[in-house]
A and B are shown apart, each in its own frame.
Chain A
Amino acid sequence: MQQREIFIYDAVRTPRGLGKSQGALQEIKPVQLLSNTILAITNRCGGIRDYIDDIIIGCMTPVGEQGGDIARAAALFSGLPFSCPGLQVNRFCSSSMESVQIAASKIMAGWDELILAGGIESFSRVPEGSDGGAMMFDPDVRAKVNFIPRNVSADLLATLEGYSREMIDAHALNMHQRALTTINDVPFYESILPVYDINGLPVLSKNECFKNNVNLEWLASLPPMATDSEDKGYDVMATLRYPQIEDVNHVHTIGNAAPLADGAAMLLIGSKEIGQKLGLKPKAKILSAAVIGVEPTLMLQGAPIAAKKALKIAGLTSKDIEIWESNEHFAAVGLKFLQDMSLHSDMVNIYGSDIAWGYAAGAMGAIAIGTVLDGLVQQDKTLGAVAICARSGMSSSIIIERC
């Protein structure tokens, strides 16, 4: 049977705000952020409202005001017809990537035609870990999984791969500089949705996380984030799984790791037929997608494996892809991606990475797909791909072709 073709018809994202108490987006509730993105798309693509089969929202901390199926809440709050149900999904950092993958598969199966797929994370209002979870908080499970915090896991990755603090900082500096150039020269007006409050007053129109005057001296001067890792036993847990290391080399700092961010992003995914029927202009075609799992203590090493799986499905090689986006919660993750994919740094995260832009976990996949779409247009290229690694050793990837 011939597979149905799947298209991305639209993509929007909010600017990323600092995901902590001083962050601008703390004053905007998560359901409102999502609603902004929903309304932006329904307004731009007139006439789609009654045809939306579902809305799928990825969120890493689906509890409190992000809990209880925030997708249905956002759909109803935004005034979408009652006929659009709503599903919340959680695959940690690749949650919204998963939204897109589920939407694409359902449409490919012929069960749905048009789906809003996106993600939300408001760290400033719903702190990480506030949803509990057995992997982190049940002693038995945590011991069996050998679960350590992400930053220590990223340090472990650097230790095992031999990435020195200098290499890590140099890579981070590169990403900070790219972000600075981007924010000044290529602001992507069409995709980035300024955030207003309930009175229409402006709250945030551009990224709040990036830093202006980053240089190597400053980066080198920062203390490691993992100050209590030895005391709390994380280093020992790392050596339990990786006995070839004597100690974990704590290389990550607030300068070479991404700050937590608030943000939301939304994509409109549909079949070729619905696009023709509603007169929508496709931006890109989804060629393939993949998810994988790896050993959870070294949880952030899976993105290259997921990317290779997706490439294989699409019948492509890494060199065929012209623009890569790969999430970079920590610089070591970026270096590992370049290394395992045998890619030059110029091919990946050309606008700067999350190290500069900030990390809005549940929304990252949808944000990254939107960024690749923008890049393909701006650079006039055809093939783009996204790879995302997630907590506990999961990773996903998706490959798209500009229309």
Chain B
Amino acid sequence: MILYKKDNYGIVTLTLDMSGQSVNVINSEIAKAFEPVLDYLEKDSELKGVIVSSAKTSFLAGGDLDFLHQAADESSVFDYTDRLRRIFRRFELLKVPVVAAINGAALGSGFEFTLACHRRIALDSPNTVLGLPEVSLGMIPGGGGIIRMIWMTGLKEAFNIVSNGRLLHVREALSKGLIDEIAEDREMLLAKARQWILSQPKISKVWDTEELIPNHSNPRYPKTAYMIADLTSTVIRKTLNNYPAVLALLNAMVEGAMVDFEAATRINVRYFTSIIFSKDCRNQTKAFWYDTNKIKNGLGRPKGYGRFKARKIGIIGAGLMGSGIAYIAAMQGIKVILKDVSKNLAVQGRDYIWKMLDKLVQKQKMTVLQANEILERIEATEDIALFEDCDLVVEAVFENSELKKRIIKDTENYIHHDTFFATNTASLPISDLAGASIRPENYVGMHFFSPVQTVPLVEIIKGKKTSAETIARAFDFVIQIGKIPIIANDSPAYFVTRVSSTYFVEGLLMLQEGECAVQIENAGLQAGMPLGPLAYADSLGFKYVLDAEKHFAGQIIENYKSSSAFSILESMIQKFDRHGKVREAGFYEYTNCEKPYLWPELTKHFPKKETKALSQEDIRHRLMFIQCLEAVKCLEEGVISNTNEANLGSIHGWGFAPFKGGVIQFINDFGVEEFVTKAKELEQKFGPRFKVPKMLEEMATEKSNFL
């Protein structure tokens, strides 16, 4: 667990090596192991110094999430965290120099531990990532690291780094003073550590010697007080009070900067404990840790097929989507044939990719050499014959069934019978498209999201004849390019488009009923959606929405009943020549201003009703419940097979309130029984679309929760 070795100089090297796992993780076990070591070190009068390193490729990671989330009560979380805090502090207060020889990633409380050491020397490698990612899981760091960072980088900088859960590469950490030195290899790392200890350095920390924190970090200093006030309102602007961890972090830091170090770190533990027990933290940890891991570990992947690894892929269509897919694939070392109808168009796509790479070079996230290497993996062409040895072909042309059918027919003449073929589409029926294929078992839908570079999700759509093996390969490919796969069965609009469209449709209905547009938009935003429902409709484009709608109405669904909301979009196009964001005029005005604003004439054409307006809460419930109910129907109908994929699909697919943990976790968070009661109320007031699905009704009776 912890290997102890003392050399002739009296320097002890502690090597962390947790058995049975590939990384060292801070948990209650390691806490127990540290204490006797500290007892021993504290008594050793011959001791000259301590070096802490790791036997793994990473240094130390932290947070025992299982323990924290299963803890029975606040006092057990507080005690556990305070114990860790004290262990770190005991290292800091040893009479001899303690060096963290950081040979790889140090994250969370693992990084907090290094901050308590007297010197941090890190291996200069791309894998040495440092930082406190807790906020991205809805938590805050608890081991006193944030208090140490206030003193080391200043309050504002420390808050900016930690509040974004930002991880730093070794050189950035060096420039910010969070580490002291870098070493090119493991040998040098330990040598430099030893050398520093032997130089008899001063080891007391500023927070233990200085009486006052510098003015720029002292909340009692007027300018700093106003800086904190601004940070607060900026946090509210960004979170709309939906992410309490960020505010708790700021509070822990501000209060921590006003009291002595010991009290500051204990205040830190108190805020940490309160956040661990907040619903928002539970929701986010569930989504971004548990759900994500389950999916990545193959929850939805058909079993019994060997791992697929793409070496070379073909992409048809070098537009934004196609180029985006080519870009992320090439970044992962995959060779790409990027094809369009003319070489010229294909080259334009490749140029676009170069622009993205160049941005990374400008930001010093990549060298020119690396960027060139990536670009060279992409071949721009009009020649379909080059697909010959591709492991996979992704078609990313625009949403037109005839075109897509023609392409699969053409392409199949040139690709291996074993190569699988993916069509990128948001709502077209896969089984129908696959009808044009001679090998429909190899044909699969792959719904990428725009912009491909940043959205971490891909929705895989299984047609009627798509084989399990093709799904397994599609799954592996999505993982290979660093995205999260969710798997939907072919059905109208699948999962993401189907559920997300209920959101803006509900907004349109309320507009039609005479609710105030501003209130509808604000309700959506304040409920945690990235855009108000009208802005969302704008972003999709009205014609696109109506075409899809007509498609469903005309071909796919029997007895399809179109929502009256779509007539609004029709009249927006026909009467007012407004088409959405693409044409810079939709429910919002997009021209001549920094910030889009609602079309001033909207109130004229959709006047507010005379009768009493809905409360903000009612509007919010309508917007959120309609999505949740649709998602439950998808589970019930087998469109999607598990809650974890539904949750992540909603968060990454259309930005469903992340602090709620996704569209299904929202129901758990609300309380299943309470949700059903509220939905019934909505059904009575606003119509049968709020009818509670049987599955949910039964869960309420059984008093069970979604997993």
Contacts and interface: CB of A to CB of B under 8 A. Distances in A.
Interface string A116-144: 00000000000101101000111110110
Interface stretch (A93-101, A236-244, A322-330, A333-341): A236-244
B567 interface: no
A140 B247 contact: yes
B550 interface: no
Contact of A232 (B219, B228, B234, B523): B234
Contact of A132 (B220, B233, B598): B220
Interface in B227-266: 228-238, 240-241, 247-248, 250-251, 254
B220 A247 contact: no
B226 A139 contact: no
B565 interface: no
B230 A137 contact: no
B689 to A, nearest CB: 24
Given A129-B225, A129-B226, A137-B228, A143 B236 contact: yes
Contacts of A244: 516, 518-519, 522
B615 to A, nearest CB: 10
B222 A129 contact: yes
A233 interface: yes
Given A137-B228, A139-B250, A243 B526 contact: yes
Interface string A215-254: 0000000000000001111101101100111110000000
A136 B518 contact: no
A240 B526 contact: yes
A233 B236 contact: yes
B413 interface: no
A240 B519 CA distance: 11
Contacts of B233: 142, 148, 232-234, 237
Contact of B225 (A132, A237, A247): A132
A240 B598 CA distance: 18
A237 B247 contact: no
A143 B225 CA distance: 15
B522 to A, nearest CB: 4
A139 B516 CA distance: 32
Contact of A137 (B229, B595, B598): B229
Given A232-B233, A247-B597, A143 B523 contact: no
A231 B594 CA distance: 12
A307 B522 CA distance: 34
A239 B248 CA distance: 22
Contacts of A146: 236
Interface string A196-215: 00000000000000000000
Contact of B251 (A136, A138, A232, A234): A138
B518 A140 contact: no
B521 interface: yes
Given A138-B254, A140-B247, A143-B247, A246 B521 contact: yes
A247 B518 CA distance: 9
Contacts of B518: 243-246
Contacts of B236: 143, 146, 233, 236-237, 240
B254 A139 contact: yes
A132 B224 CA distance: 10
B616 interface: yes
Nearest to B234: A233
Contacts of A247: 597
B621 to A, nearest CB: 14
B140 to A, nearest CB: 13
Contact of B598 (A138, A230, A246): A246
A132 B518 CA distance: 36
A243 B521 CA distance: 9
Contacts of A127: 222
A232 B526 contact: no
A233 B239 CA distance: 10
Contacts of B237: 232-233, 236-237
Nearest to B246: A139
Nearest to A242: B522
Given A244-B519, A246-B521, A137 B241 contact: no
Given A129-B225, A237-B237, 14 more contacts: A129-B226, A132-B225, A139-B231, A139-B235, A140-B247, A143-B236, A143-B241, A233-B236, A233-B237, A233-B238, A236-B240, A240-B241, A243-B518, A243-B519
5 residue pairs, one from A and one from B, having the closest CB atoms = A233-B237, A243-B522, A233-B233, A139-B232, A139-B250
Interface of B: 219-220, 222, 225-226, 228-238, 240-241, 247-248, 250-251, 254, 516, 518-519, 521-523, 526, 595, 597-598, 616
Interface of A: 127, 129-130, 132, 136-140, 142-143, 146, 148, 230-234, 236-237, 239-240, 243-247
21 contacts: A130-B222, A137-B254, A139-B228, A139-B231, A140-B251, A142-B232, A143-B236, A143-B247, A146-B236, A148-B233, A232-B230, A232-B237, A236-B236, A237-B236, A239-B522, A240-B241, A243-B526, A245-B518, A246-B521, A246-B597, A247-B597
